[in-house]
């Protein structure tokens, strides 16, 4: 009886040192984040697991947080929505970690997460575009629109690659970097245009990296000889 209770307790209250660090990612900021925030990441993950959160809870909370950010952007505010992007981004990071730890990863969950991620990007960048356009900040509004298009393109390329059996996670500027750049742009006075330009330029570079990688791998697969007995 005591052994059963201990097992159940261990399952509901994981030890922090036993939890994995953030997942590896080939983007620019990911290695630094993985190294510096490994233990804070484990601490937060342990807290979420002990509190009983499920992955879909965090996914929905992330959507709600991004909706609040969008509404605040439409009202002309910048600092508060920029600060709120931090917890919104963390929720997006931890939903997958919670699903993996609980053994609840599924195709339905991955689909829900992907759709809501794209919706969140559309909400934030779309509301920022309309807010800037209303203020007659034409250049900034154009950069916000291009940032949204390119960020959705980068994610779409990954989905299309996976649909044909290619894992396309390449790119110097991915979702983590997009969150960080936008947080800086919204919270540091005078830096929004620079942040949006970086989002557009490095996002376009990431899209080209993924297209090039897919092109090379598809070409290599087409040239490889067929196995014996097959035409």
> Is residue 142 domain-resident?
yes
pLDDT confidence of residue 221: 62
> Is residue 72 domain-resident?
yes
pLDDT confidence of residue 165: 77
Return mean pLDDT, the chain.
84
Instruction: Say if residue 182's pLDDT is above 60.
Output: yes
> Is residue 203 domain-resident?
yes
Burial category of 153 from C-beta neighbours within 10 Å (exposed 0-12, middle 13-18, buried 19 and up): middle
The rounded percent of the chain whose pLDDT value lies above 90 is 43
Residues 6+ apart with CB under 8 A from 8: none
Domain of residue 66, residue span: 10-218
Instruction: Say if residue 220's pLDDT is above 80.
Output: no
> Is residue 231 domain-resident?
no
C-alpha torsion angle, residues 110, 114, 120, 121 (rounded to 10): 150
> Is residue 3 domain-resident?
no
pLDDT digits (tens, 9 = 90+) for 7-16: 444 445 577 7
pLDDT confidence of residue 80: 96
Q: Could you give the number of structural domains in the chain?
A: 1
pLDDT confidence of residue 120: 94
User: Predicted confidence band at 156 (pLDDT cuts at 50, 70, 90)?
Assistant: confident
> Is residue 87 domain-resident?
yes
Instruction: Say if residue 122's pLDDT is above 50.
Output: yes
pLDDT confidence of residue 112: 87
pLDDT confidence of residue 192: 97
Average pLDDT over residues 96-110: 85
Instruction: Enter the DSSP assignment of 165.
Output: T
Q: What is the pTM of this model?
A: 0.82
Contact between 206 and 171 under an 8 Å Cβ cutoff? The reply is yes
Instruction: Say if residue 58's pLDDT is above 90.
Output: yes
> Is residue 2 domain-resident?
no
> Is residue 150 domain-resident?
yes
pLDDT confidence of residue 228: 53
92: CATH: 1.20.120.1760
């Amino acid at each position: 009886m005591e052994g059963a209770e201990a097992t159940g307790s261990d399952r509901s209250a994981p030890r922090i040192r036993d939890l994995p660090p953030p997942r590896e990612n080939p983007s620019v900021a990911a290695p630094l984040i993985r190294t510096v925030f490994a233990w804070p990441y484990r601490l937060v993950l342990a807290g979420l697991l002990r509190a009983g959160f499920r992955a879909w809870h965090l996914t929905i909370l992330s959507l709600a947080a991004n909706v609040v950010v969008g509404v605040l952007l439409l009202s002309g505010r910048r600092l508060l929505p920029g600060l709120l992007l931090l917890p919104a981004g963390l929720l997006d990071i931890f939903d997958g970690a919670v699903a993996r730890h609980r053994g609840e990863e599924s195709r339905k969950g991955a689909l829900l997460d992907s759709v809501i991620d794209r919706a969140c990007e559309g909400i934030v960048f779309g509301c920022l575009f309309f807010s800037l356009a209303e203020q007659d900040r034409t250049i900034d509004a154009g950069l916000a629109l291009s940032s949204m298009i390119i960020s959705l393109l980068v994610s779409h390329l990954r989905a299309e690659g996976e649909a044909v059996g290619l894992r396309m996670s390449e790119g110097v500027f991915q979702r983590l970097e997009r969150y960080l750049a936008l947080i800086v742009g919204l919270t540091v006075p005078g830096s929004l245009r620079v942040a949006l330009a970086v989002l557009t330029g490095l996002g376009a570079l990431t899209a080209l990296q993924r297209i090039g990688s897919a092109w090379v791998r598809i070409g290599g697969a087409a040239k490889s000889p067929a196995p014996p007995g097959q035409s």
